[in-house]
Structure 1
């Protein structure tokens, strides 16, 4: 046996395994459809997706409008400050407009004390978080029939798509996600949840009292009523140039919540490309230096 023979056998085994994975992967979608393809979460086209994606400022502004008019009735954004709405890389509203928004926000800051130690409520300012209607979890549960509306600051990072495909297809999907830079599983899940309500529920499904059927939510029974409706969409400003629709509302508010969960995405991606360029230039210079230093040495 030659020295190259073991290497050839290993290469053949790896090639066979990869071919087998691709063959098995071809049956993955068919099995998924047989198991209930209606529950599959489709990947959306996001402006911030991939290695070079960036947030769409206009979309973030529309998304905040949806949050303000719909979501803020129950949910807070405790990790987002009003001033963040005026910072580059986000909605980038004018500072004066954000100041006016803060002082007219319907919910006041609680838990602070005046000079005499008495508890007070005050209007929020630029440095304050975007709070919701409830002062504590007990109050929220009492108002929502025992359900606790989650804070939406990190909701997109806290959720993702659960892959239930066979392991060969799962591995190939993971490799594809690495190559394409796919990190939008949370955004796809939130969008799927907002658009995944069914009324009436499928035949044979018994719903608990106060629950709503959602094809994406685990268990399919969700305490939150549909926040968006096809019959009553949130209309955008005429100058936005975008026609309001149920799907557009869901897409825009999901993009805004993605920004709330990762506000440094734009600057981080720019820095990443700068670092790669730096490493490329450094590699070329080191190679040229090596050639110059060792060019006179006989090998």
Structure 2
């Protein structure tokens, strides 16, 4: 008895050892059971609802917070193919050194990190030597003071948090190493905060030593206005307006918080041609090699023989 071929596309197959292999074309995009599709849709809908609810709750909290929202600014380093403005970073270091360093530290930035970015090695050594570092103990077990080195980190003016709060009427000046990443709005928020101190509106009471800034949560900030026109004289002759000073110091602090940004962009630019070639190869293999295999169904059908007893 001849074997029955289960196929609608081919009337003949491959005959081997009395058995026939039938080849049948099938649809590779067949849908699964209706229950699975409905379950997937239910899961996606639930996740979308939960995400929307969380987003709405967060936006409601932000809307209830009486503070101004910073508008986005055209920073150079936000461009896809551009890095930091290193001239601005160098000027921003001067602003930090002359204005911000009196209260804030950069505990995650060492002087060696400035080499090749804002200063030469000799300039960075000279900057480090201006700082006095307590080191030791020596051979006698006593601590001693020495000039700073390239490996030293930029510490603040206070020995501990208690001294900092006592000096600033209870307010604690935060470390600025990661301040741009730690605040919502990033560099836009820091720039607007430095340049938008205003008079205290009617009905708002400030504590001792506080100032009013609409971009700070609650409006009452413990840091007074520190950026003014002409406060720092730039060696390169750049106009030293308040907005320029704020832009430079924010660019410097952004680089401090994310020093690997330029390296990531360089790697990404180098990887784009490779990714394009890989995508083209994957598309070609899927279209012309794997698709015929996926749309072909192979069935093994055994030949049934009658046996006489």
TM-score, with structure 1 as normaliser: 0.71
Q: Does 1:250 align with 2:246?
A: yes
Per-residue deviation, 1:289: 5.2
The 5-angstrom pairing of residues 197-208 of structure 1 reads 197-198=197-198, 200-208=199-207
Q: Tell me, yes or no, if the aligned pair for 1:110 and 1:135 is still in contact at 8 Å.
A: no
Alignment-derived partner of residue 14 in structure 1:
none
Write the deviation string for residues 137-188 of structure 1: whole angstroms up to 9, x where unpaired: 122222222221111100001101xxxxxxxxxxxxxxxxxxxxxxxx2101
Structure 2 residue aligned with 1:117: 141
| Structure 1 residue 129 corresponds to structure 2 residue 132 | no
CA distance in 2, matches of 1:125, 1:206: 46
The alignment status of 1:259 with 2:285, answered yes or no, reads no
* Helix, strand or coil at the partner of 2:145: strand
How far off is 1:278 after superposition? 1.7
* Partner of residue 80, structure 1: 109
Change over 3 Å in CA distance of 1:112–1:144 after alignment to 2: farther
* Cα distance in structure 1, aligned partners of 2:291 and 2:161: 72
CA change 1:292–1:98 in 2 (3 A) is same
Q: State the structure with bigger RCO (CA 8 A, min sep 6), 1 or 2.
A: 2
Instruction: Output the aligned Cα RMSD.
Output: 3.1
In structure 1, runs of 5+ residues without a counterpart are 4-9, 11-31, 161-184
Alignment pair present for 1:227 and 2:256: no
Query: Which runs of structure 2 are paired with 1:203-218 in the superposition (5 Å)?
Result: 203-218=202-217
Who wins on radius of gyration, i.e. which is larger? 2
CA distance in 2 between counterparts of 1:142 and 1:111 reads 26
What is the deviation of 1:201?
1.1
Find the residue that maps to 1:67 and give its secondary structure: helix
Q: Is the 8 A contact 2:105 2:175 kept in 1?
A: yes
Distance 2:108 2:275 in 1: 35
Specify which structure has the higher proportion of strand. Answer: 2
Matched, 1:98 2:134: no
TM-score (norm 2): 0.69
Native 8 Å contact 1:82 1:125 kept in 2: yes
Kept after mapping to 1: 8 A contact 2:88/2:252: yes
SS at match of 1:282: helix
Deviation at 1:277, TM superposition (A): 2.7
CA distance in 1 between counterparts of 2:165 and 2:65 reads 34
Q: Structure 1, residues 249-294: CA drift from partner, whole Å, max 9, x if none?
A: 0011001000000011111122123333322111223444566757
Residues 87-116 of structure 1 show CA distances to partners (whole Å, capped at 9, x for unaligned) of 3xx32x1111111111023xx223632222
Q: In proportion to residue count, which structure has more helix?
A: 1
Which residue matches 1:189? 189
1:45 pairs with one of 71, 74, 82: 74
Is the 2:104–2:174 contact (alpha carbons within 8 Å) kept by the matching residues of 1? yes
Deviations 1:46-98 (A, max 9, x none): 011143331011010011110011001111111000010113xx32x111111
